[in-house]
Chain A
Amino acid sequence: MKNLLLSFREVFSSRAAWIVSIVSFVVFLGIYLMTLPATFTGGVVGFKAFAFLTPELIGWSVLMAVLLGVLMPMTVYLLRRGYKARGGAGTAAGGLIISLVTPLLCCSPILPIAFSFLAGLIPALAGGAGGAVQGFLATHEWLFFTVATAILMFALYKNAKEVVKGACCAV
């Protein structure tokens, strides 16, 4: 916690960091608001998805957008100073991918098409295998969003540690 506060103070001491943070928050919030409702639209994303937003989805969107809004200026800070940021950036990317891909996979044609293609090679995948995976995704979406959020928080912690470590670890 102390590292986090110290790193915030260091990173957000510049106006540029605030601009990066706000722009990142707005962009990622927009992406999440257009993508998370794909659960209800069968995979359709975009402005059409706004009609299917629920308070729960808005909450997840805001939470993950806030985390990314803080992570982006931190990552930029580290990269500009030549510090090690690959780990944090990679972790953050993982969290972002999980959070965006989950609603797309659960109720869109992507998995059934993939499974029917693979079933030609592995017959055991024919029949209900794709449905079982989609069913699990659809009914456990909260779990994937929780994991994605935890990954983003871990990325934040990693980056904060690097910021506080300072010039000793520049590459």
Chain B
Amino acid sequence: MTVRHRLSTLILSSSLWLMALTPVFAQADPNAGTVAPAATFTSQGKSQSLAAYRGQKVMLWLFSTWCPSCQAGLAALAQEHKTLAAGRVHLIVLENYQNGGYSGPTLQALLNHYASAVKDAPNWTIGNATEKLAAVYNAKAYPDIYYLISADGKIEAVGSAPSASMNEILAFARK
């Protein structure tokens, strides 16, 4: 066995071993079909609880302001706000805890640019994710992740990039 062959074997077997341990290392975000865990976030300087929205369809969206797909998602949601409002979906739009680890435009600047018409809409709640909420709903620190939560508090779907998955969001609104 050559040195190169031994090294390749070592790397491959180590990778397979580590991959098998992935469930031990990785914290799973809550899955579709489970009850949305309780958590709080801040909005307009006040602490708010997700539980306060029980009884309504909710789209909980965590995103980072530097992320282009998030900016496109914000614009897409603003464009569909009438359909979402008609479907009685309440959007909770939260900046990721510490903006996902990288600085970007402020949330306000983003809203002014991409969603100025809807930022004060009654079915939109804008805020910031707390560290605890991020640990529960975005443990892997995705640039963006959203949860479609039914009125009875169950997570119906988990996705990202609303601009590319708008059909699923609109289907949720129309239920």
Whether B142 contacts A109 by the Cβ 8 Å rule is yes
Among B19, B141, B143, B144, contact of A115 (Cβ-Cβ < 8 Å): B141
Whether B64 contacts A109 by the Cβ 8 Å rule is no
| 0 or 1 for each of A35-68: is its CB under 8 Å from B? (1 = yes) | 0000111111000100010000000000000000
Interface of A is mostly: helix
Stretch from B5-13, B43-51, B95-103, B115-123 at the A interface: B95-103
Whether A138 contacts B67 by the Cβ 8 Å rule is yes
Whether B100 contacts A135 by the Cβ 8 Å rule is yes
Task: Give how many B residues have a beta carbon under 8 Å from the other chain's beta carbons.
Answer: 34
Stretch from B53-61, B82-90, B156-164 at the A interface: B156-164
Interface residues of A in 73-124 (CB under 8 A from B): 106-107, 109, 112-113, 115-117, 119-121
Whether A139 contacts B66 by the Cβ 8 Å rule is yes
Whether B98 contacts A128 by the Cβ 8 Å rule is yes
Among B72, B98, B142, contact of A52 (Cβ-Cβ < 8 Å): B72
Task: Give how many A residues have a beta carbon under 8 Å from the other chain's beta carbons.
Answer: 30
Number of A-B contacts (CB under 8 A): 111
Please give the distance in Å from B35's CB to the nearest CB on chain A.
Answer: 23
Whether A40 contacts B69 by the Cβ 8 Å rule is yes
Among B19, B66, B141, B161, contact of A43 (Cβ-Cβ < 8 Å): B161
Among A41, A115, A128, contact of B164 (Cβ-Cβ < 8 Å): A41
Whether A42 contacts B164 by the Cβ 8 Å rule is yes
Contacts A116-B27, A120-B25 hold; do A131 and B69 have CB atoms under 8 A apart?
Answer: no
Among B26, B71, B99, B141, contact of A117 (Cβ-Cβ < 8 Å): B26
Q: Which residue of B lies closest to A128 (CB)?
A: B101
In the assembled complex, the Cα of A120 lies from the Cα of B160 at a distance in Å of 24
Contacts A112-B140, A117-B26 hold; do A128 and B102 have CB atoms under 8 A apart?
Answer: yes
In the assembled complex, the Cα of A132 lies from the Cα of B100 at a distance in Å of 7
Instruction: Note all chain A residues with C-beta closer than 8 A to B21.
Output: 120
The 8 residue pairs across chains A and B that have the minimum distance between CB atoms: A135-B102, A128-B101, A42-B161, A120-B25, A131-B101, A131-B100, A41-B164, A42-B69
